[in-house]
Structure 1
Amino acid sequence: MPLQRSISWSSALRDLKDDRKRRPAGALGAQASIAFQARIRPLVVAGQYDRAAIMAVAVFAAKTHQLAYGSTWAAAMSLALKSA
């Protein structure tokens, strides 16, 4: 007699969804902060990335994130640079 297994597709898809990496707290805020600052100081000039502008915008976003969430500077800066 063969063994039969039933698969619940809803629970399987839910498990797949839960396995995906979740965004850290404040990621959307950091992206919004960077988008706002990028309007003032463009991150791409003449087709090349402006590293100084990227760092300035990331530092601003990291300070904002650190004040809002109380995270370490390294974690805040990491999140800000990934968002930039």
Structure 2
Amino acid sequence: MSHRSRAASFSWSNAKRDMRGDRQQMPAGFLSARGRVEGAVRFGRVALVNADGSFDRVGIMSAAAEAAKAHQTRFGGTWDEAMSVALKAAWQAARTTRTRSAH
């Protein structure tokens, strides 16, 4: 007779499947939106982080709007969907920029 109850059993297969399901999926066009945001920064059109290390919200929104226009042209969809992808990309780029400048 086993001392382990049925509820205490563990399945690695189920755990791995659940972990794969928990991974955040990248929305379509995210990488191209991120590239557009980074390009806008590189060419000096926008800044994502201020000199004091705070986020430049105007710059982030400007870069996101530019990326959203390109996203909507390429992938179609609504402005809300395009802006959602672009804002995620812009904020991710801003956090990365701030982390790099802190070191």
Q: Identify whether the pair has TM-score above 0.5, normalized to the shorter chain.
A: yes
Alignment of 1:5-84 (within 5 A): 9-39=12-42, 40=44, 41-47=46-52, 48-84=54-90
Report the Cα offset of residue 37 of structure 1.
0.8
Unaligned runs of 5+ in 2: 91-103
The code of the aligned residue for 1:45 comes to N
**TM-score (ref. length: structure 1):** 0.77
Tell me the equivalent position of 2:93. none
CA RMSD of aligned residues (A): 2.3
Higher strand share: 1
Which segment drifts farther, 73-82 or 36-45?
36-45
CA deviations over 1:55-82 (Å, ceiling 9, x no partner) = 2111100001111110210111111112
Pairwise CA distance, 1:4: 8.7
Distance in 2, Cα, partners of 1:51 & 1:4:
54
Instruction: Tell me how far apart the structure 2 counterparts of residues 20 and 51 of structure 1 sit (CA, whole Å).
Output: 28
- Identity fraction in percent: 48
Report the Cα distance in structure 2 between the residues aligned to 1:21 and 1:44, rounded to whole angstroms: 25
Residue 95 of structure 2 corresponds to: none
The one-letter code sitting in structure 1 at the alignment partner of 2:73 is L
